[in-house]
Amino acid sequence: MRGAATPGRRRAGARSARRRLPGVGPGQMTGMKQRTIGTVEVGAIGLGEMPLSVDDRPDEARAHAVIHAALDCGVTLIDTADAYCLGAADFGHGETLVAGALQAYGGSDDILVATKGGHTRTDHEWGRDGRPEYLKRAAQDSLRRLGGDAIGLYQFHRPDTKVPYEESIGALRELLDAGTIRMAGISNADVAQIEIAHEILGDDLVSVQNEFSPDFRSSEDELRRCGELGLAFLPWSPLGGMSAAGGLGERHAAFAEIAEAHGISPQRLCLAWMLAKGDHVVPIPGSSRPETIRDSAAAADLQLSPDDLARLDAA
């Protein structure tokens, strides 16, 4: 995994060249168009692992098949979290699943695994814990499950209203300085929190992961600010969420009509629309079947006309 292969972390204020395997040019490593997270080039479409770990998840064989199908299509970013599980006894399932799938695939040096910490789980509910001591311990546990000598991208999962945001982000700074993580990100953050994290972490802050979809466009300001700061923006639930993704075209007529004109699914069209919002956008659609991640991955090659994009923006 890239947690082990990525060059050493950067200090705040320092610029580093984009990571590329020796002798391999952009796009040649995977066949998918590339985008950049920090110093690492990844496929323009990532994989959100959550559906493979929560309620109604597939069995391990099919979950591995989904991840392997994504890799075969050129996906080189897999996003998971320690809290993607069924409950306390299952905590860390997503990370363990990803590590096992990559080992079974037989090669993962060019894969960036992103994980998150700051959520807790019981059998019935999600909680939050943004205390620095908790986040540092959670990161160590995540590293143990994922393997390697450092986590490629570690993200603070969700602000904890009981803990000053600066203190939680300070824990990421300590994890970077200790070499436990290579790059840092934040999730479910507003513009003010992005500014705080950027002030504390400098260039070691590389990404923001927020909900963004045709159903949920409230993160437009955060998407725009990420572009200004040179941060990757990772839309989660880009198709509307696990239970709603299949009905995207039914809820949004313009997406269905333009998709039909192109002879593709509304879901593929949606991801291409997101990619067109900026070179810093890397959607991470979830999937529980190989065929759906293959369809999502094909969005990286779809070019939409200005008229198409205007209609989708206005939908």
Q: Where are the alpha helices (DSSP H) in the chain?
A: 2-5, 60-72, 93-105, 132-146, 165-178, 191-201, 220-229, 248-251, 253-262, 266-275, 290-297, 306-314
- Picking from 203, 304, 298, 182, the residue whose alpha carbon sits closest to that of residue 255 is 304
- Residues serving a catalytic function are 84
Contacts of 28 by beta carbon, 8 Å cutoff, 6+ apart: none
- Picking from 265, 207, 197, the residue whose alpha carbon sits closest to that of residue 231 is 207
Tokens 């950067």 locate to 10
Angle between helix 60-72 and helix 290-297 axes, rounded to 10 deg: 20
Classify strands 40-43 and 34-37 as parallel, antiparallel or unpaired: antiparallel
**Alpha-carbon distance 36 to 122, whole Å?**
35
Classify strands 151-156 and 232-236 as parallel, antiparallel or unpaired: unpaired
Q: Evaluate whether 153 touches 38 at the Cβ level (below 8 Å).
A: yes
Angle between helix 253-262 and helix 266-275 axes, rounded to 10 deg: 100
49: left (phi over 0), alpha (psi -120 to 50) or beta: alpha
